Chain A
């Protein structure tokens, strides 16, 4: 997947440089990265625009349409559904009614045993899956960068203690611990207490997922900072009397942009898989919410010798696999494009 480094490339730069211009051009050259970007953009647009689309209500049950295979048709949304949608998303619903009236595309990807429309559920599930993935990644980036900057910036004994702590944390199987945490958090009494702090189930989910995915980021950021600390421009800034906080924010953080972006793209698919995994086990997003993991789990539960609703297994899985695949591909391409060994404009340096 990655091009071999050019033979006459100079040794890796001693200092990480801020992200250079021409990133987009270099990214575009990588095989498949444009396709991956398109797929991701499509999913993001679908997720953001879900209330604008002429789709059935994701939780509306209809026994007349139970377990039907993919067969698209136009139907009218009931007045009740319309009212509910208008309450939840007044602005978007108004636009949709202007465009499509009460028409809705029903059964494009089939329906489940309760007659709920799978296409609508996948689109609304994308909202939850992508939102959790982004929010959890953000949490992990904030934690990791803060920890790494603190350790690398203060240095000395503090740094050593902080890094030892990371080593220990690394050997804890967090995925299993998270399941224990989530199951404790689901207890009604605990849930009520947490709700009184103003946290709902979903924000709790991404906080927990983010809280266990920042170790790699912290390590990398700290490593970069250690080499940056000794750079001349840092000494110069110090000599000019720049406060430590301003030094970290204004002078050091911009140099970490590249590495943060790379870890970011590697974290998003991991976190997304984590959410799907938890939801699949029944420990993540709870009905009536929808997420791709939950849909995959429902689809498998619906597979019995009597009803072979293959679409319930295939389409949610496809959505999940396509976005994970694209994220992986994009992450690889971005890492190559940001690699200091390839010079400006995508040409080998030197």
Chain B
């Protein structure tokens, strides 16, 4: 367990370092000085910033300054475009919003997906099964932003059940979480149903039925654990997709999360901020994938990490 954990963390660190270096090279390949078009900036401030980040120095000195700050203090540097704000401060404000949204999206993807898939597998061929699988196939082809548009159209403008946009109470997170999670709920429903149908044909399920367990108890107590395996294996890519989906969902619903900052930073050429957010995403994804591996080995002890 501990060696595996350490190995996983080592892998995440390596990827983080690779991404940080790639990002650094990319950003410094933009000609000019990041502060040259910040018109109103005090020359003294510019001088300070240039000294701190060695912007006058050679590429290697800049590299030392950036990586030194990153590795020793976890300092991601100042925002190039927003005044008096460091990337760390921006992250501290927006990470909770994005994390909440991501977890809610995951909850939708797993909760709705597993329930729908499980119920469909109980009665294969029934109208419920057919309609769930039809909806799931459709859901797989709906990009997050198309789904978000349809949800806004129906539940904000037509029935006026939810606020338009912005972060204002738990109600304002319902539609974003649905837009984020439903496409992956569709994928999970399909995976779980297929997994369950396969498992339900096994001998030991017949044994469980023969000893008098109800269909529900067989499903939850015996069949669910092995049938969850394909879902868990699909969770790695799904988590990546949920994270990237949160980019568009945050933009559609004007939520002040990481994704909004990332896209804005990209559009405004605020490269330090973009690289900082990229590193946070990389870290979250790495840790998430690691946990997926652990869950998979817990579900099926034959899988070695």
Contact = CB atoms under 8 A, between A and B. Distances in A.
* Chain A CB within 10 A, most for which of B18, B19, B146, B150: B146
B289 to A, nearest CB: 7
A172 B15 contact: yes
Contacts of A314: 149-150, 153
Question: Dominant SS at the B interface?
Answer: helix
A175 B281 CA distance: 10
A190 to B, nearest CB: 6
A99 interface: no
Interface residues of A, number: 47
Contact of A280 (B22, B141, B145, B152): B145
Nearest to A193: B31
Interface in A248-302: 269, 273, 276-277, 280-283, 293, 296-297, 299-300
B263 A277 contact: no
B49 interface: no
B295 interface: no
Given A171-B11, A184-B27, A281-B248, A1 B152 contact: no
Contacts of A179: 247, 262-263, 266, 274, 278
A233 B31 CA distance: 54
A328 B187 CA distance: 13
Interface string B119-155: 0000000000000000001101111011011101100
A27 B23 CA distance: 45
B240 A180 contact: no
A120 B137 CA distance: 29
A176 B22 contact: no
A320 B146 CA distance: 8
A183 B269 contact: yes
B300 to A, nearest CB: 22
Contact of A281 (B137, B152, B263, B281): B263
Contact of B267 (A172, A175, A282): A282
A296 B278 CA distance: 25
B235 interface: no
Given A276-B143, A305-B164, A313 B15 contact: no
B286 A171 contact: yes
A177 interface: yes
A300 B149 CA distance: 6
Contacts of B285: 173
B14 interface: yes
B285 to A, nearest CB: 5
12 contacts: A179-B247, A179-B266, A180-B271, A183-B274, A277-B143, A277-B248, A283-B266, A300-B145, A313-B153, A324-B141, A328-B137, A329-B137
Interface of A: 1, 168, 171-173, 175-177, 179-184, 186-187, 189-190, 193, 269, 273, 276-277, 280-283, 293, 296-297, 299-300, 303, 305, 308, 310, 313-314, 316-317, 320-322, 324-325, 328-329
Given A186-B269, A300-B252, A317-B143, 4 more contacts: A173-B281, A190-B29, A313-B153, A324-B141
The 9 A-B residue pairs with the shortest CB-CB distance in the complex, in nearest-first order? A183-B266, A325-B141, A317-B146, A313-B149, A324-B141, A189-B31, A175-B244, A171-B15, A176-B281
